[in-house]
Amino acid sequence: MFRLPIDSESFPLGKGPMVMLILFLISTLFIFGRSEEKGENLEFWIFANTHYEEYQARVPIFEAQNPGVNVQLINFGGTMHDKLLAAMLSNFGAPDLVEVEITSIGRFLKGAIDEVGFVDLRPRLESEGWMEKLVVSRFTPWSYRGRIYGIPHDLHPVVLLYRDDLFKAAGVEMTEVETWNDFIAAGKKATRDLDGDGEVDQYAIVLDRRTESDYFSLLLQQGGGFFDEEGNVIIDSELAIETLEFFTALFNEHKIATPVYGTWHGDPSNFAAMQDGKILSILAPDWYVGILKSQVPQMSGKWKAIGMPAWHPGGRRTTTRGGTMIGMTKQCENPDLAWEVLKFTYFDRPGLVNRYETTRIIPPLKSAWDAPIFKEPDVYLGGQPLGELFIRLAPDLPPRYQNPYWSEGADLLNDAIFAAVTGKQTPREALTDLAEKVRALIAKDVGRWGEM
Amino acid sequence: MGRNVIFSPKKVFMSKKRTTNLFWNQQQKIAPYLFIAPFYLLFVIFMGYPLVSSLVMSLYEMRGFQSRIFVGIGNFTDLFRDPIFWKSLRNTAYFAVGTLTLQLPIALLLAILLNSKFVKGKNFLRLAFFAPVLVAGVFVAIIFNLVYDQRAGLVNQEFVLFGKEIGWLNEEKYVMPAVILTGVWQWAGFNMIYFLAGLQGIRQELYEAAAVDGANWWQAFIHVTLPSLRPVIAFVFVVSMIGSLQLFDLPFILTNGGEPADAGSTIVMYLYKNGFQFMRLGYAATIGWVLFFIIAVISIVQLKLLGIFRDE
């Protein structure tokens, strides 16, 4: 019989310490003893589950095409951006490739241009002719001071998703709505107290007054923004003030909007209100349609979509909300290989078609748009080919200029919107105060470090 | 002229013995420090160094990943003029007061009930009340997001309000009460265990003596139970206060980052936002140190008021 060459009884201090020592040695072996896989290794960090699942299926194809290449996919979920920040601060441990969310990228752009932890991808994009193949306005969220730090994963055009049955019941044909003025007129008919108890039972639209999401989408549609291309604060421009006045009026003057139920549009509470027929329309980016399909499948066939109402006849019928980029970090030791992985995951047509199939996300690569899947009728929208609508709107996406102070600005913008909608400040006061605060913040940094 | 040195084997032997003795004596002195060295080494590396480093960091401000500049007490003066910091401080204090005035009496009441002879199934009830603390804060927040659901949530629908739609997480005035109530659900059972241990440690003779003196239940509670529980109450008060002042994950997830209008923002949440979202690490370190001093002062005052420093 096999016997351990150690007598546990005679081990100093007995069995317990011996077991602890053995466990310690085993875990040390696991931590330090893992041999690197042979060949070229690349690390790719992801924060979104749906993206992770897509790459899990796609990356083995790339590895098969490139023997000796190992791409390690790591999904850190919501904490990924913090981990990336720590890795860049310590100049150690960052991945070769990483996906970054649109509201998080600003913090990585602070400081001198050479301190930014991402590789400028403009030279590669231009030399290989990719700029013309993608929707150019979609590079703006990932560019700063002339450099392009990321490739867009998506476009996220926004449409107006509406309950055709309930609008028709109120005598409104939504396909005839072209401008926001038309929408207000339609909304006043559709916002109703159905049982006569003095309380409104259905609202024409649900809007988020807690955060910048809906207001900022409307502002982008108007051609405005928080910062302009040069990084100037323009959130107190007349355009921004007019947009907030309009946004506020939807709640308080026209009374056709209800605040989002729960904490955001994807809250179960909001879905419950939709199912109860309390919400008749919503501004929906492509990814939100994917969420609706998976979270509220029982509403299949009840929604229809049109382009967003324009601010003026013939004006832009869409905006953009949300987004992800893929970037290459300066800690990447094999940029050429990383670039190949990047192109495979972001520019490969079969992969992009598969992405639309699972998430409804429209790719920024224009040559993929003629794939038959985008013209297919969408059962969830009663047979309407939603992909076709998104692609028709996509070339008209407004630019969204990125800035290192976006996070601070957005945090304060949330408060300004809430203050305006709840009547604590007028839209002009709220946005003027906000702009002053952000300008003061920037001026303080410029005073300390000088212009960067 | 040099002195004649005479070789003496006895002298060499004696000297060796003295050295061995000296080493043995020293070893006895050194050994305890060696035994506790692992803790102190880890403490210095993972606690001492970051503490000192963060104190230094609070005197600097960073911009980007490498540029930093000495600002002296600039971050502290900025902080005291920052309205969001004061709002976060108010929210945190609101939660702390709510916790102390609501959660601890409930915990004590539960402990008294579970310590009485009249309640059956004590073991099951102890486990049931204690169980919420085993659930991670993140999951508690997700669960309570559904409980406070405006449209179909337990509180608004069946449980309390029978269909009245209160935006618990949507209206400023309800946000902190919602967070406090969630804290009560999660932590009351945990504090109950401390009180229960304290109650079980009170000598029965004291109650018997009180009964002989004609004390009723309430008088026995006021004059026997509470004074005997003083060390436990002091401990639970201080620990709960510190925990309340460090509140982060619950409101962060429950309110989606402190909105609306920073109604759910706490000091640690504001620290996190500055450090990780705004990349203002110096300012974040300053918030951390201010929080440290607030906790230190409040804890000392609490312990003094509860008489922990008093000689019995």
Whether A93 and chain B come into contact, CB under 8 Å, resolves to: no
In this prediction the ipTM stands at: 0.86
Task: Show residues of chain B in contact with A260, CB under 8 Å.
Answer: 170
Residue pairs between chains A and B whose CB atoms are closer than 8 Å: 106
For residue B64, give the chain A residue with the closest CA: A111
Whether A115 and chain B come into contact, CB under 8 Å, resolves to: yes
Kindly give the pairing relationship between strand A257-259 and strand A151-152: unpaired
Read off the pLDDT of residues B87-132 as tens digits, 9 standing for 90 and up: 999 999 999 999 899 999 999 999 999 998 888 888 899 999 999 9
> What six digits make up the tokens of A308?
């967003």
Q: Does domain A40-155+322-377 have CATH number 3.40.30.10?
A: no
Average pLDDT, chain A: 92
Residue A142 has a pLDDT of 96
Contact B225, B198 (CB under 8 A): no
The domain segmentation of chain A, as residue ranges, is 40-155+322-377, 158-321+399-449
Read off the pLDDT of residues A51-65 as tens digits, 9 standing for 90 and up: 999 999 999 999 999
> What six digits make up the tokens of A401?
């200029």
CA distance A106 to chain B (A): 8
Task: Show residues of chain A in contact with B63, CB under 8 Å.
Answer: 110-111, 445, 448-449, 452
Read off the pLDDT of residues A66-101 as tens digits, 9 standing for 90 and up: 999 999 999 999 899 999 999 999 999 999 999 999
Strand A158-163's sheet: what is its strand order? A281-285, A158-163, A303-307
Please write down the HEC assignment for all residues of chain A. Answer: CCCCCCCCCCCCCCHHHHHHHHHHHHHHHHHHCCCCCCCEEEEEEECCHHHHHHHHHHHHHHHHHCCCEEEEEEECHHHHHHHHHHHHHCCCCCCCEEEEECCCHHHHHCCCHHHCCECCCHHHHHHCCHHHHECHHHHHHHEECCEECCEECCCCEEEEEEEHHHHHHCCCCHHHCCEHHHHHHHHHHHCECCCCCCCCCEECEEECCCCCHHHHHHHHHHCCCCECCCCCECCCCHHHHHHHHHHHHHHHCCCCEEECCCCCCCCHHHHHHHHCCCECEEEEEHHHHHHHHHHCHHHCCCEEEEECCECCCCCCCCCECCCEEEEEECCCCCHHHHHHHHHHHHHCHHHHHHHHHHHCCCCCEHHHCCCHHHHCCEHHHCCECHHHHHHHHHHHCCCCCCCCCHHHHHHHHHHHHHHHHCCCCCHHHHHHHHHHHHHHHHHHHHHHHCCC
Read off the pLDDT of residues B273-284 as tens digits, 9 standing for 90 and up: 999 999 999 999
CA distance A99 to chain B (A): 16
Classify residue B169 by burial, with Cβ atoms within 10 Å: 0-12, 13-18, 19+: buried
Omega cis (within 30) before A67: no
Whether B152 and chain A come into contact, CB under 8 Å, resolves to: yes
Residue B1 has a pLDDT of 39
Q: How far apart, in Å, are the Cα atoms of A386 and each of A166, A270, B14? A: 20, 22, 99
Tokens 């450099």: give the residue.
A147
Among partner residues B67, B153, B170, which is closest to A259 by beta-carbon distance? B170
Task: Show residues of chain A in contact with B170, CB under 8 Å.
Answer: 210, 259-263
Residue B2 has a pLDDT of 43
Same fold, A40-155+322-377 and A158-321+399-449: yes
Position A49 pLDDT exceeds 70:
yes
Secondary structure (3-state) at B209:
helix
Whether B71 and chain A come into contact, CB under 8 Å, resolves to: yes
Whose CA is closest to A386, among A320, A304, A317? A304
Instruction: Give the CATH class of A158-321+399-449.
Output: alpha beta
Secondary structure (3-state) at B112:
helix
CA distance B165 to chain A (A): 10
Whether A262 and chain B come into contact, CB under 8 Å, resolves to: yes
Contact A180, A243 (CB under 8 A): no
Contact A340, A66 (CB under 8 A): yes
Whether A326 and chain B come into contact, CB under 8 Å, resolves to: no
How many Cβ atoms from other residues are within 10 Å of residue B188's Cβ? 24
d(CA A148, CA A125): 9
Read off the pLDDT of residues A308-358 as tens digits, 9 standing for 90 and up: 999 999 999 999 999 999 999 999 999 999 999 999 999 999 899 989 888
